[in-house]
Amino acid sequence: MDLRPFITYLEHLNELRQVDEADPDLEIGAITELSDERNGPALLFVHIKGYPPGYRIVTNLIATPRRLAAALGFPAAILNVELVRLIKDKFKELKSVPPVYVTKGPITENVYREGEVDLFKLPVPKWHEYDGGRYLGTGDMVIMKDPEAGWVNVGTYRVQLHDRNTVGLYVSPGKQGRIISQKYWSKGKSCPVAVAFGAHPLVWLPSFLFSPWGVEEYGVAGALLGEPLQVIRGEYTGLPIPAHAEIVIEGDCPPPEVESRKEGPFGEWTGYYASGTRNEPIIKVKRIMHRNDPIIMGAPPLKPPGSGVATYVLRASNIWSQLEQLGIPGIKGVWQMRAGGSHYLNVIAIEQKYAGHAKQVGMAATSVPAGAFQSRFVIVVDEDIDPTNDEDVLWALATRCDPATTIEIVAGCWSSALDPTISPERKAKGDTTNSRAIMLACRPYHWKKDFPKVNRASDELRNRVMNKWGYLWPAANSG
């Protein structure tokens, strides 16, 4: 449950590089972006410019299939839809393991209270050139407790540094953290909040998955770890805090009408600065705890296909799992086309079992929790199409989708201010809905047996030829 042994493990796998003396003002963000584009290693920034030795930042931690597989304990050679399938099956078998309270942990090595709090001591990066400030919270865990039911929610939301003891908190409408905080605000109360910056990937992952309302992410983390997550009780908020986290803040999030500040702009996963600058809630920080030589975990959103494979793979597995939970048969693979970011282009491969099956899958995929937020296109293809192969998917779309009869448009769907197609006027009115296109790129069910055959050599013939003539393509043969 500790980030540091995992970093050491990545170093052992030759999946980590140290970077000396990089500037947190844009350089660290640009290095992270360039490395991600090249499927480079995880990066550990040390001796950060302008800060004392000991403060560190890690980025691109699970940004490739190999590193995500390493975190989950899967073979490194498992890729694409098989990795999605393995993760889906793993999560289906999980049984919640509640956390256990301990009296102290590495996070209590340094504790600062009230007037001692100074967030400017941390090397908080400015990740993108046009960001409105420095962002401490990208790879974070925002911890809240529902005031009515008493369950603890952990979500990944963006956190901007405002001053020595104030940070901004942006949570999209409809997200669980927003709903919980509004319960406090509706009674004129501040919402107690703790935020962890830096945790083992298996502790962090559940915080950005779409768990059902009331499901505690700490229980999912414990199930992934195979043991209860150790937590301490926050001195100020009473909230459970991961005992092995790197840095944690505690404080109050007052109702926005009481106090809010300009937040953003921030370069988001859509590839745009779409949400602009608005007044957003803040957290007044009352406590800060950190380990010796603390590590900030950075997971800055990048223009697609950036932002790391973990987001795409995990959300695809989430959609697949939720479709199966609805009892829909015949799902053969789910993928998110990386060019569309981690929401916009969802592809589902099915073996059609009955008339209307493809449309049922498309409608369901745009409605289940993991597919409902800020999606744009759902493409349903036959089982002979590899959903992870963009060319395969586009070929199916070009040859099996009749625009007049197999595209459905659904309006008024759940989106957010991050959506670049929503006008400033609509955003100002609080209208952050969008439309969805459900595109059925399948052979028509009622005459699929008569649909023209594909002019591709059979697998049997291809294998026979490769065995005999494979020397013609040594690179392909060796791979």
pLDDT in tens, 326-360: 999 999 999 998 887 777 899 999 999 999 999 99
pLDDT tens for residues 126-157?
999 999 999 999 999 999 999 999 999 999 99
- Structure confidence by residue, pLDDT tens digits, 310-334: 778 888 999 999 999 999 999 999 9
Q: What is the per-residue pLDDT for 348?
A: 97
Residue 462's contacts (CB-CB under 8 Å, 6 or more residues apart) are: none
pLDDT more than 90, % of the chain: 78
Q: Please report which confidence band the pLDDT of residue 476 belongs to, taking 50, 70 and 90 as the band edges.
A: low
* pLDDT of 138: 92
> Confidence band (pLDDT; 50, 70, 90) for 200?
very high
290: CB partners within 8 A, 6+ apart? 107, 109, 110, 246, 247, 248
Give residue 304's pLDDT. Answer: 83
* Domains of the chain as residue ranges with CATH: 94-293 (2.30.110.10), 309-450 (3.40.1670.10)
pLDDT at 65 (0 to 100):
86
Summarised one tens digit per residue, pLDDT across range 436-473 is: 999 999 999 999 999 999 998 999 999 999 999 989 98
Helix (H, G, I), strand (E, B) or coil at 386: coil
Runs of H (alpha helix) within 228-355: 309-325
* pLDDT exceeds cutoff 50 at 479: no
Instruction: Give residue 171's pLDDT band: very low, low, confident or very high (50, 70, 90).
Output: very high
Rounded Cα distance between 324 and 321, Å, is: 5
For residue range 223-242, list pLDDT tens digits in order. Answer: 999 999 999 999 999 999 99
Give the contacts of 369 (CB within 8 A, at least 6 positions apart).
Answer: 210, 212, 318, 322
Q: Measuring CA to CA, how many Å separate 387 from each of 165, 246, 380, 395?
A: 47, 38, 9, 11
pLDDT of residue 382: 97
Show the tokens assigned to 380: 């349903």
Q: How confident is the model at residue 275 (pLDDT cuts 50, 70, 90)?
A: confident
The DSSP secondary structure of 337-385, one letter per residue, reads -GGGTTTSEEEEEE---STTHHHHHHHHHTTSHHHHTT--EEEEEETTS
